[in-house]
Amino acid sequence: MDYSNEVIRAIKNRRSAAKLSPDKPVGREMIEAVLDAAIWAPNHHLTEPWRFVVITGDERKRLGDAIADAISSTPSDPPMPPEKVERERTRPLTAPVVIAAICSPSQDKRAVAQEELVAGGGALQNMLLAAHSIGLGTKLKTGPYSYSQVIRGFLNMRDSESLISFVYLGFPEGEAAPGKRAGLVGKVDWRS
Ligand SMILES: Cc1cc2nc3c(=O)[nH]c(=O)nc-3n(C[C@H](O)[C@H](O)[C@H](O)COP(=O)(O)O)c2cc1C
């Protein structure tokens, strides 16, 4: 039996984009379609523990400045060379849209922090698949600076919140690297 179908093919064929067209705008309806898919991820007690910051236009420059500040204030050994810091400053301009996907755990007494984060991961995957299904490409970006106070401040994050990832969104350009997975061998304990 071949269980390959549209959903499974989309899951397997989605790849992180090599490059995104920086100047080809993505309409608001496409962005909303991606976010609307995100929120259908499973989440325990229906806490819906997520929120999104959609960064476009000149706000991408302000994000880049925050990233550069964050790198300068995040100790690293060896320190990041200045030219690399400048590359990170301009990185948000490499996509027309950058979405910060944030896990925002519920105050509900039944909510379990780990489950809230897992739900956030599901929302992230939904975003990537929805984008892929409507012809958009995505690239994820984190790194030590993304968890810094500077970035938390930029995104107005409460103490309980955590960044799931920055999602760079746009029309894909060039060939993505081929998908690579080690397969199921050694990952499954079959019991009966
Ligand atoms: C939470 C999270 C953060 C990530 N951050 C980065 C990143 O900072 N830089 C990067 O190149 N890829 C990042 N990735 C993407 C992975 O590198 C990528 O998914 C992996 O190489 C597999 O490639 P594929 O997406 O084409 O299957 C991140 C993935 C996740 C889930």
pLDDT in tens, 18-65: 999 999 999 999 999 999 999 999 999 999 999 999 999 999 999 999
- Looking at residue 75, what is its pLDDT? 81
Separation between Cα atoms, residue 147 and residue 161, nearest integer Å: 11
Above 90 in pLDDT, residue 157?
yes
Contact of 73 with 125, CB cutoff 8 Å: no
- Condensed to tens digits (0 to 9), the pLDDT of residues 100-123 reads 999 999 999 999 999 999 999 999
Structural domains of the chain in order of their starting residue, each with its CATH number: 19-173 (3.40.109.10)
- Looking at residue 62, what is its pLDDT? 98
- Looking at residue 115, what is its pLDDT? 98
Q: In a mutational test of the pocket of ligand 1, which residue from 12, 142, 175 has the highest number of ligand atoms less than 8 Å from its CB?
A: 142
Burial 172-190 (b: 16+ CB within 10 A, else e): beeebeeeeeeeeeeeeee
Separation between Cα atoms, residue 118 and residue 122, nearest integer Å: 6
- Looking at residue 88, what is its pLDDT? 97
Ligand 1 centroid vs 141 CA: distance in angstroms? 7
- The set of protein residues with a Cβ atom below 6 angstroms from ligand 1 is 15-16, 140-143, 165, 179
- Contacts of residue 83, Cβ cutoff 8 Å, sequence gap at least 6: none
* Nearest alpha carbon to residue 149 among 56, 46, 72: 72
Lowest mean pLDDT among 12-21, 42-51, 73-82, 167-176: 73-82
* Nearest alpha carbon to residue 129 among 13, 4, 30: 13
**Atom 6 of ligand 1: nearest residue by CA position:** 141
Mean pLDDT of the residues in the chain: 97
Report helix, strand or coil for 79: coil
- Looking at residue 104, what is its pLDDT? 98
Phi, psi at residue 172, to the nearest 5°? -70, 150
- Looking at residue 2, what is its pLDDT? 80
pTM of the model: 0.97
Q: In a mutational test of the pocket of ligand 1, which residue from 50, 140, 167 has the highest number of ligand atoms less than 8 Å from its CB?
A: 140
